[in-house]
Amino acid sequence: MTGPKSLSLVLSALTLVAVEPALTDRPKTDESPLSIGITGTSPSDRAKDPTAILGSAKIQRLILEIAETPKSRAEIESVVSGEFFTLDDMVNVGLLREENDAYRIDFNLLRVADQKLILEVAEQSGRDLASAFLAWRDEFEALAASHEQPQIGNAELLFIVLGCFSLDWDGLELTEERGYRDGAQRTLDGRSFTPWAKEKGVAVSLKGLYWGSHSSGSPLVLTTFGDHDALPRFGLPDMLWNSGGAFSHYEHLQDGQQAASRLLAKYMADAMADAASVMLVLGEKDLSLQALAARTGIENDRLERMLALLEEAGYVTRQDGTYAGRVLVLGPEDGEMVRDMVAKGREIMIAWHEANYDDVREALSDLTPLRNGVPFGRVYNEVWHFIFGIANRELVKAGLFADPYAESRRHKGFLPFIWTNELSSWMKIGIRQ
């Protein structure tokens, strides 16, 4: 929830099983009443960063009070006096807005009851959306069969092309294009973001809700796609991204920390390019170390180290000195197949929204942000993620998609893949972080 970089209709009771959103009330033991965050990237200036502004329990309690009863400028300024930000900063970053000489919340703040209602609506909605995709199962499986990679089954390809490219990436594109979902709420200092906050007191299991992709590289892109329960992922680019904390103990030497991080970033980019090159070649045929070195131009010692990592990550297997790729690789030759699948997925999602969006909005009309005048399109960013995440879960259950939690998988909760960014032009959508 890139998400880049990242976030419908008979109400039904939730089935509380391991792979579905599980709700449990629990006492609030944390002094801070909210979980907070943004979708996007925040400015470095703390007074322009909504998560910094919301960082204290005092300000979070103030926000909860305003959500129930709008407050005057004087009332708010008496609380924020002496902070590193002002009331105007809170308006500037999208947390508050002025209306009739009082201030209301202006962002997606969800109380406990709001979160439960969203999950109830999204559960049935996601199942309905999955059924709409399953109606085209034969066509999708026929398209997937055109991909030539012996070690990869149709279900794995469909998890990526329909689950990630279509439902996640293109679903976010089309819901914004058609006005169902708002884009970034603010752009400050060149950074675009939408703030959000959720009241603590609801435990939501994200296991099996497949809605998160992490990508890096060009022209060969390394991506992992899965749920947010199995973080951090032992895949690429995640493993190398997570190594960026190596210099975290040098915060008192900011310039030195930045210089070291830039150097490491260059080596990480080179390592990811090597990994992508190896997997691209192994997507065509199994090869020995010597043959791989000749095909990729990577010197032997470096290649051996890379293969050791890829073997541990489950990207390759080795038998009798020969390496075989075990990860989906999508190249330019897959362009028409990807285009046709994404186009059909878009047709399905458009038809589903035309039939169900108004019902979803009506079912959720009493949410806290909507009572405060926040546009439903801003709230729908959260709702849509749960809907398509649940749809992906149901498509895994139906066997159309590969199961990221299958016993045969060494690292669970996600599937890695490599693809050429030429496919973006076939899909007409960009990479989502």
* Domain residue extents for the chain: 26-110
Q: Distance from CA of residue 234 to its chain's centroid?
A: 16
* Domain 26-110 is found in CATH 1.10.150: no
C-alpha separations of 291 from 60, 62, 208, 286, 330 in Å: 59, 64, 39, 9, 22
CA distance 247 to 258: 9
| Under 8 Å between Cβ of 315 and 277 | no
In angstroms, the CA 405 to CA 409 distance is 7
**Residue 295 carries which side chain, given as an amino acid letter?**
R
**Whole-angstrom distance, CA of residue 129 vs CA of residue 390:** 9
What is the reported pLDDT for 264?
Answer: 82
- Is residue 207 exposed (0-12), middle (13-18) or buried (19+ Cβ within 10 Å)? buried
Around Cβ 276, how many Cβ atoms within 10 Å? 24
Phi and psi, residue 295, nearest 5°: -75, -35
Sign of CA dihedral 359, 362, 368, 370: positive
The pLDDT of residue 247 is 66
Q: Which of 108, 137, 51, 48 is nearest to 394 (CA)?
A: 137
Query: Which helix (H) or strand (E) element contains residue 82?
Result: none
Q: What pTM does this model have?
A: 0.88
Provide the residue type at 298 as one letter: I
Give me the average pLDDT of each 10-residue run along the chain (433 residues).
34 29 41 94 95 97 98 98 98 98 98 97 98 98 95 96 97 96 96 97 93 94 97 94 70 78 85 95 95 96 96 96 96 96 97 98 98 98 97 98 96 97 79 45
**Pick from 301, 426, 364, 254: nearest CA to 11:** 364
Strand bridging mode 108-110 / 191-199: parallel
In the prediction, which pLDDT does 21 show? 40
Torsion of CA 263, 430, 198, 96, to 10 degrees: 90
pLDDT of 167 reads 98
CA dist 7 and 215 (Å) reads 15
Answer yes or no: are the C-beta atoms of 8 and 383 closer than 8 Å.
yes
Phi, psi of 397 (to 5 degrees): -60, -35
Phi, psi of 423 (to 5 degrees): -65, -20
Give the 3-state secondary structure of residue 187: strand
- Residue 31's CB is within 10 A of a number of other CB atoms, namely 10
Phi, psi of 291 (to 5 degrees): -65, -35
Which is it for strands 212-216 and 220-226: parallel, antiparallel or unpaired? antiparallel
Please tell me the distance from the alpha carbon of residue 136 to that of residue 243, in angstroms, as a whole number.
42
